[in-house]
């Protein structure tokens, strides 16, 4: 426990101290991952792309972090390994294959907008499993989020260029896969919070990512080889390096650190920043259309996330009594 405490102090010096700032930076980085993932899918299937990304990230963490003074702890108890397994399963083994599979059928901007529902899943799961109070305010937020989700998942509102990708059932498949990824992300947030009580955030990130790779490797065998050009391979390799080292190593270390420092609900609102980043990049770089449905749905869900996290300013009791006495 002493070495864990020392390591956590080093991480505090290496990263911003505010859990909100850590979570916000992590989600800003993840906002760029939707478009980057599109390039990897030109060359590899979703299972292979995910396995390569996290295997490269693991190698980077193993080689770089100990030399920077961040040793990786080995879980010592069955409880710790069980918690790490659930983080690896939900945060890597399920989340990313579902999200990448969905990206094969829908634009990155729509994928990011759907993933915006994850903070609302966090609120629901926290109420169900952590016995946290589900207030009227949060219920209204969930209803607004559902309405925004309905706007987003209506295939009739997708841009015309998307229709060439496939039929309505195919588009709905991509949407449902992405919704599954959003739910898996929410579960992983709660699992990470639990695992962080046993290990430091660096070790949680490393071992859960390793379990994710172990789960993904056998699934790569069922994917068919793809035909691609040398230019597509160049873009895919660059995107893979960016996804592995920046979006996986750096962003996950910041995110897991933030979860360790505070309650998941306190930073859930930062998750919605991914969507505008992904939408803007998709429009500027990939020429994706920003439809009215994506705009309205994103605004509704963003407001719902904000409402679920908003806390009215409380007037201190002493001040309130003084004001009443003065009147």
List the structure tokens of 319. Answer: 């001040």
Domain boundaries, the chain: 2-326
Q: Which pLDDT does position 270 carry in this prediction?
A: 75
Percent of the chain residues past pLDDT 90, beyond the cut: 24
So what's the pLDDT on residue 224?
85
The pLDDT assigned to 81 comes to 93
Q: What is the tally of helices (H) and strands (E) in the chain?
A: 17, 0
Mean pLDDT of 168-177: 82
Residue 11 predicted with pLDDT over 70 = no
Q: Which residue has the higher pLDDT, 48 or 205?
A: 48
Highest mean pLDDT of the ranges 4-13, 60-69, 187-196: 187-196
Average pLDDT, the chain: 78
Q: How confident is the model at residue 17 (pLDDT cuts 50, 70, 90)?
A: low
Does 37 have pLDDT greater than 80? Answer: yes
Tokens 């599954």 belong to residue:
180
1-10, 163-172, 222-231, 304-313, range with greatest mean pLDDT:
222-231
pLDDT at position 175 over 90: no
Q: Tell me, what's the pLDDT at 158?
A: 53
Per residue in 117-146, pLDDT (tens digit) is: 787 787 778 776 666 666 777 677 767 766
Say yes or no to pLDDT of 281 above 80: no
Contact 62, 55 (CB under 8 A): no
Q: Which is more confidently placed, 106 or 26?
A: 26
Candidates 85, 83, 96, 93; CA nearest to 30 is: 96
Q: Is the pLDDT of residue 231 over 50?
A: yes
Q: What does the pLDDT read at residue 98?
A: 93
How many CB atoms neighbour CB 86 within 10 A?
18
70-95 mean pLDDT: 90
The more confidently predicted of residues 144 and 236 is 236
What's the pLDDT at 12?
43
Res. 216: pLDDT tops 90: yes
Question: Computed from CA positions of residues 130, 132, 136, 141, in that sequence, does the dihedral angle turn out positive or negative?
Answer: negative
DSSP string over 42-61: TTS-HHHHHHHHHHHHHHHH
All residues at 6 or more sequence positions from 213 whose CB lies less than 8 Å from its CB, including other chains: 51, 54, 55, 58, 92
Q: How confident is the model at residue 35 (pLDDT cuts 50, 70, 90)?
A: confident
**pLDDT at position 111 over 70:** yes
Q: Where are the alpha helices (DSSP H) in 196-229?
A: 201-220
Residue 116 carries which DSSP code?
T
- Give the model confidence (pLDDT) of 46-67 as tens digits: 999 999 999 999 998 888 877 7
Task: Report whether 58 contacts 210 (CB < 8 A).
Answer: yes
């Amino acid at each position: 426990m002493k070495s864990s405490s020392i390591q956590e102090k080093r991480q505090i010096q290496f990263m911003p101290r505010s859990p909100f700032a850590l979570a916000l930076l992590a989600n800003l980085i993840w906002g760029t991952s939707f478009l980057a993932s599109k390039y990897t899918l030109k060359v590899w299937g979703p299972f292979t792309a995910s396995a390569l990304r996290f295997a490269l990230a693991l190698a980077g963490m193993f080689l770089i972090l100990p030399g920077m003074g961040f040793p990786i702890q080995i879980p010592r108890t069955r409880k710790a390994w069980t918690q790490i397994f659930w983080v690896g399963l939900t945060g890597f083994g399920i989340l990313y294959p579902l999200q990448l599979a969905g990206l094969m059928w829908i634009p990155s901007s729509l994928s990011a907008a759907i993933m915006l529902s994850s903070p609302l899943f966090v609120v629901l799961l926290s109420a169900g499993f952590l016995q946290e109070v589900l207030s009227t305010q949060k219920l209204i937020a969930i209803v607004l989020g559902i309405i925004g989700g309905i706007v987003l998942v209506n295939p009739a509102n997708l841009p015309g260029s998307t229709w060439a990708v496939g039929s309505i059932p195919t588009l709905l498949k991509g949407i449902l896969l992405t919704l599954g990824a959003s739910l898996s992300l929410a579960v992983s947030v709660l699992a990470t919070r639990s695992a962080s009580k046993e290990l430091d955030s660096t070790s949680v990130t490393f071992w859960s990512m390793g379990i994710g790779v172990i789960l993904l490797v056998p699934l790569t065998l069922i994917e068919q080889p793809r035909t691609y050009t040398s230019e597509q391979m160049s873009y895919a390799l660059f995107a893979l390096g960016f996804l592995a080292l920046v979006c996986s190593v750096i962003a996950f270390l910041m995110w897991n650190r933030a979860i360790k420092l505070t309650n998941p609900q306190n930073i859930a609102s930062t998750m919605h920043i991914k969507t505008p980043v992904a939408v803007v990049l998709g429009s500027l770089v990939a020429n994706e259309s920003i439809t009215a449905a994506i705009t309205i749905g994103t605004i509704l869900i963003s407001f719902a996330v904000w409402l679920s996290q908003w806390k009215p300013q409380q007037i201190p009791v002493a001040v309130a009594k003084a004001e009443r006495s003065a009147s």
